[in-house]
Amino acid sequence: RNMASRLNLLNTMCRLPQCSAASRAMSSGRAAWDGPQKSKEYPLHVKTIACLTKEQVLKVLALAKDMKAAPLKYADVLKQKTLLMLFEKPSLRTRVSFETGMTQLGGHAIHYNIADSPLGKKESIQDTARVLSRYVDAVTARVFTRKAVEELSANATIPVVNALDDFAHPCQMLADLLTISEFRGGSTDFTGMKMAFVGDCQNNMTYDLMRMACLMGFHINVAGPDSKDFEVEWGVVKECENLQQKSPGGTFSIGQDRDAACKGVDIVYCDSWMSYGIAPAERAERLKALMPYQVTGKTMELTAPGSIFMNCLPAMRGEEQTAEVIDGPKSVVWDQAENRLHAQKALLTLLIRGFDTPLV
């Protein structure tokens, strides 16, 4: 009786409301947690640049340009929205650009280091994706292999963005297109443009640059050592051939001659030869194989008038390019780095708010 009296007294004092059947249904229902469906495409996952259509890429570029020109106009566009950034690989540009971007858009970004707590170890990636979908509005993942990005996107009900894996780097592609457009008078018609990528062709940057060329309608020459350790994956070649059928105009070639690849092109692109994940013991052998593909001042003399040099950074002077190139008048690498911020702000806004939703 004494216990019953205490319970009655406590109930009277607190007067806790009882949950209705409808409330209980909402608390366990997916719609109550995941938010409204923005469109039939939501959530759109960006695993490679080819996950976006040409029209969506152009929307990202248009919004990025406006955000860069008038940032305060979009100061609240992602208010109360949260981005979770998963990092298995460290990065200066990726973390700072995403975190700064979410702040400038009125949202919040959380950095989570998974190097010491790998995805798929303590719980399945499938379960992690489902949990995160109930907490945040989007996820970026910078990881060593494509498997993690594939599994996250297969199970998340919010947008997942590949912030770099061994297969693609779509955020860099958008920043690069924005940079190229700025140096082509603001045009987003890339038809007829020619690019060369030289160096290690078994590389996430090579793959997404090839996809981007086929998607956006320009030509890319890829040149690197004739070795199974540096060649383009056959699956990427087939993927690009399929893209050519869907979006005619883009073309690619693969060879081993640096100078032939760079002759007459509008853009010369290279990437680090010692990316994260490559053992230091391989350094000497890699340098020996790749040095014939170093971009020098003489290499740039082979290019078209008004050509530019690009590197997604970090860069090593004296390796993939000489100092006179990266610090020279044709280099746009610092513009590329800045444009990560603007391109990613636009991408996140469109993924979270919807590509067809009025923003301001």
Contacts 24+ apart (CB under 8 A), 91-96: 91/142, 91/163, 91/164, 92/314, 93/313, 93/337, 93/340, 94/140, 94/142, 94/163, 94/164, 94/171, 94/340
Which amino acid type is present at position 79? Answer: K
> What residues are paired with 333 via a beta bridge?
none
Cβ of 84: how many Cβ atoms within 10 Å?
Answer: 19
Q: How many angstroms separate the CA atoms of 106 and 76, rounded?
A: 5
Which of 45, 211, 286, 340 is catalytic? The answer is 340
Q: Could you confirm whether 15 is annotated as catalytic? A: no
Cβ of 168: how many Cβ atoms within 10 Å?
Answer: 25
Which amino acid type is present at position 3? Answer: M
Q: Could you confirm whether 137 is annotated as catalytic? A: no
List alpha helices for the chain, DSSP H.
Answer: 2-14, 21-28, 30-34, 54-69, 92-104, 125-132, 146-155, 170-182, 204-216, 234-246, 258-262, 283-290, 297-301, 323-326, 333-353
Q: Could you confirm whether 344 is annotated as catalytic? A: no
Contacts 24+ apart (CB under 8 A), 150-154: 150/47, 151/119, 151/120, 151/125, 151/126, 152/119, 152/125, 152/128, 153/45, 153/47, 153/129, 154/126, 154/129
Which of 312, 336, 342, 344 is catalytic? The answer is 312
Which of 45, 169, 211, 258 is catalytic? The answer is 169
Which of 45, 93, 142, 258 is catalytic? The answer is 142
Question: Distance between alpha carbon 54 and the CA centroid of its chain, in Å?
Answer: 16
Instruction: Evaluate whether 137 touches 160 at the Cβ level (below 8 Å).
Output: no
Q: Could you confirm whether 353 is annotated as catalytic? A: no
Place of tokens 């309608």: 217
Which of 208, 262, 271, 342 is catalytic? The answer is 271
Nearest to 191 by CA among 201, 180, 176, 204: 180
- Strands 308-311, 219-223: pairing is unpaired
Q: Is the dihedral of CA 239, 142, 271, 320 positive or negative?
A: negative
Q: Could you confirm whether 45 is annotated as catalytic? A: no
Longest dimension (CA), the chain: 96
Which of 104, 166, 172, 256 is catalytic? The answer is 172
Q: Could you confirm whether 172 is annotated as catalytic? A: yes
Residues with a catalytic annotation lie at 142, 169, 172, 271, 312, 340
